[in-house]
């Protein structure tokens, strides 16, 4: 009899867990809400070309309800996501979160939040895996496997001291003139920057193809990464989902919101309770083994609702983590007056690493130069009338960029996920408070970033750096940690729940530490690792 497993969620963890499970001979059923976007229009046409070739460019760029127009408001965090990505953040009817100190984004899309990611792939090193119940020696081969599946471009350079080089690394993407200038400036002043500022620079590693790979095209430098890559060069998990759907042992069940699971006296899970998104009665899917990969918050919510449904109360989960991000805009003086490139990769191509007091406290920076993008959000932030602002943006556009500075996070007991009664029933309550030393850590990190930028010939406009709210990085982790030994509300090193023997937690909910790096590549590698260790016999 073919062993079977049910997976919840089609994000990066879910699809790579499913792929490894299929490769091991399991029958895999993937339950998902599964919102989808539209296919990108006019493949082969660049960002600027769309404005001339589309029948109604305003509708594409600004949306049917003009929600792509960024108006000055006091409260809303600006993500710069275009209307074509609205589906990624669309929640099922009735879904609500209650938050305190945390502004989370959640996704119910095919592919999850990574449908709107910027593709950064950074393996954790041994120092960053120190709190995990395994090291790089165990995870390394799964990074290799994921790189082979999704295609990661980059090169071994000065940043390799912070991130191990894995196999199957594709040649790096072409640099735009501004990014190339920054790297040349770094090479000229490398010794000073390394020694005085303890900073290193190099190419970011990105899940974008430079050679054709499994039906996906190499990057066409169309400047449309954010809007939806028409050649599928930039990897998103829905690519893997489409591959999985060709396997007869894979069953995709979209249109269902997972509410909870039902378990017996021994804790063995017997069924999954779901609600059709389009309306209708709650129903159950029988389950032999269950893997939750719905994203740390949704996975935690499913576990809590299941426990509450069975016993009438649910525990409080501790240790929520997220990366604090700070955006530091800069202007390269040598690029003043330069025209933005006609053809470019839109996201970051250059990275910067600052070593920390301890290796795991490394500060990770992605340097994105302004290429094809909407400029009205920038122009309105300048302290002059809009006509003058437009003239300033025209003169400086080729030299504008932003450093996204990421800080690590640790599990702390005050940062919790729990259930509370809301108007529509039990809802997730998320509470977060930053550590006391965070302001000093941020100030020290930013001071070093500014010094490095100055050494590269850039100016940092005063007062324009932006500390993003917690939740904005969308790197949530930590509330059901994996540990070598432990009690309830933890998993063993293979991601297997200590409360429910046939439950595997395959996403970031189990990470016991959150380095400054984007965690998505590690989510995928860890999910593959967990799927590789599932016992074939249910009783094992």
Which residues of the chain form contacts with another protein (CB under 8 A)?
Answer: 48, 51-52, 56-58, 60-62, 65-66, 68-74, 333-334, 336-340, 374-376, 379-380, 383-388, 390-398
Enter the tokens of residue 97: 């979160």
Which residue number, 63 or 501, has a Cβ lying nearer to another protein?
Answer: 63
Q: Kindly give, in sequence order, each residue whose CB lies less than 8 Å from that of residue 191, ignoring residues fewer than 6 positions away.
A: none
Beta bridge partners of 199: 354
Residue from 355, 449, 403, 368 nearest 125 by CA: 355
* CA distances for 199 relative to 3, 38, 352, 406, 434, angstroms: 50, 42, 7, 14, 25
Which residue number, 51 or 358, has a Cβ lying nearer to another protein?
Answer: 51
The H or E element spanning position 273 is: strand 269-276
CB atoms within 10 A of CB 410: 15
Taking the C-alpha atoms of residue 302 and residue 280, their distance in angstroms, rounded to an integer, is: 20
Taking the C-alpha atoms of residue 493 and residue 485, their distance in angstroms, rounded to an integer, is: 9
- For the CB of residue 78, give the shortest distance to another protein in the complex, in Å: 13
Residue from 460, 449, 531 nearest 494 by CA: 531
Beta bridge partners of 459: 331
Enter the tokens of residue 155: 């090169």
The H or E element spanning position 459 is: strand 458-459
Enter the tokens of residue 8: 């919840």
Residue from 255, 242, 243, 250 nearest 108 by CA: 255
Taking the C-alpha atoms of residue 248 and residue 246, their distance in angstroms, rounded to an integer, is: 6
- For the CB of residue 338, give the shortest distance to another protein in the complex, in Å: 6
Q: Kindly give, in sequence order, each residue whose CB lies less than 8 Å from that of residue 407, ignoring residues fewer than 6 positions away.
A: 323, 324, 325, 326, 363, 438, 441, 442, 445, 516
Residue from 208, 203, 236, 238 nearest 222 by CA: 208
CB atoms within 10 A of CB 411: 18
């Amino acid at each position: 009899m073919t062993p079977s497993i049910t997976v919840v969620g089609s994000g990066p963890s879910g699809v790579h867990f499913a792929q490894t499970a299929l490769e091991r001979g399991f029958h895999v059923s993937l339950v998902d809400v599964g919102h989808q976007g539209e296919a990108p229009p006019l493949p082969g046409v660049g960002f600027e070309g769309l404005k001339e070739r589309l029948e109604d460019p305003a509708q594409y760029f600004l949306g049917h309800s003009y929600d792509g127009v960024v108006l000055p408001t006091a409260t809303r965090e600006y993500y710069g996501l275009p209307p074509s990505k609205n589906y990624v953040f669309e929640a099922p009817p009735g879904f609500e979160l209650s938050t305190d100190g945390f502004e989370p984004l959640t996704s119910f899309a095919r592919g999850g939040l990574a449908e709107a990611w910027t593709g950064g792939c950074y393996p954790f090193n041994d120092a960053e895996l120190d709190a995990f119940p395994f090291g790089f020696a165990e995870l390394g081969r799964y990074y290799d496997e994921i790189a082979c599946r999704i295609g990661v471009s980059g090169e071994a350079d000065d940043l390799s001291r912070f991130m191990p080089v894995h196999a199957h690394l594709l040649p790096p993407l072409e640099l735009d003139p501004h990014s190339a200038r920054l790297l040349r400036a770094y090479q000229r002043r490398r010794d000073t920057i390394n020694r005085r500022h303890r900073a290193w620079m190099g190419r970011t590693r990105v899940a974008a193809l430079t050679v054709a790979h499994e039906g996906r095209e190499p990057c066409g430098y169309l400047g449309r990464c954010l809007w939806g890559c028409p050649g599928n060069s930039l990897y998103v998990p829905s690519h893997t989902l489409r591959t999985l759907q060709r396997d007869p042992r894979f069953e995709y069940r979209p249109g269902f919101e997972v509410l909870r699971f039902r378990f017996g006296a021994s804790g063995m899970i017997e069924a999954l309770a779901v609600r059709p998104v389009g309306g209708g009665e709650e129903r159950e899917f029988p389950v032999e083994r269950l893997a939750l990969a719905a994203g740390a918050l949704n996975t935690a919510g499913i576990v809590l609702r299941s426990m509450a449904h069975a016993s009438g109360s649910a525990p409080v989960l501790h240790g929520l983590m997220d990366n604090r991000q700070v955006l530091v805009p800069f202007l390269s003086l040598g690029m003043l007056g330069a025209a933005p490139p006609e053809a470019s990769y839109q996201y970051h191509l250059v990275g910067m690493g600052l070593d920390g007091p301890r290796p795991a406290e490394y500060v990770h920076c992605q340097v994105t130069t302004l290429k094809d993008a909407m400029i009205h959000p920038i122009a309105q932030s300048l302290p002059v009338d809009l006509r003058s602002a437009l003239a300033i943006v025209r003169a400086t556009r080729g030299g504008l960029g932003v450093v996204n500075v990421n800080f690590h996070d640790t599990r702390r007991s005050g940062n919790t996920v729990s259930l509370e009664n809301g108007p529509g029933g039990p809802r997730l309550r998320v509470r977060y408070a930053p550590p006391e030393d965070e302001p000093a850590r941020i100030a020290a990190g930013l001071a070093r970033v500014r010094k490095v930028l100055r050494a590269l010939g850039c100016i940092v406009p005063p007062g324009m750096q932006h500390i993003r709210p917690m939740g904005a990085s969308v790197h949530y982790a930590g509330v059901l940690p994996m540990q070598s030994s432990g009690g309830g509300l933890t998993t063993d090193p293979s991601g297997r729940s200590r409360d429910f023997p046939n439950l595997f937690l395959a996403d970031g909910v189990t990470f016991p530490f959150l380095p400054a790096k984007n965690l998505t590549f590690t989510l995928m590698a860890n999910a593959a690792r967990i799927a590789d260790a599932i016992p074939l016999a249910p009783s094992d």
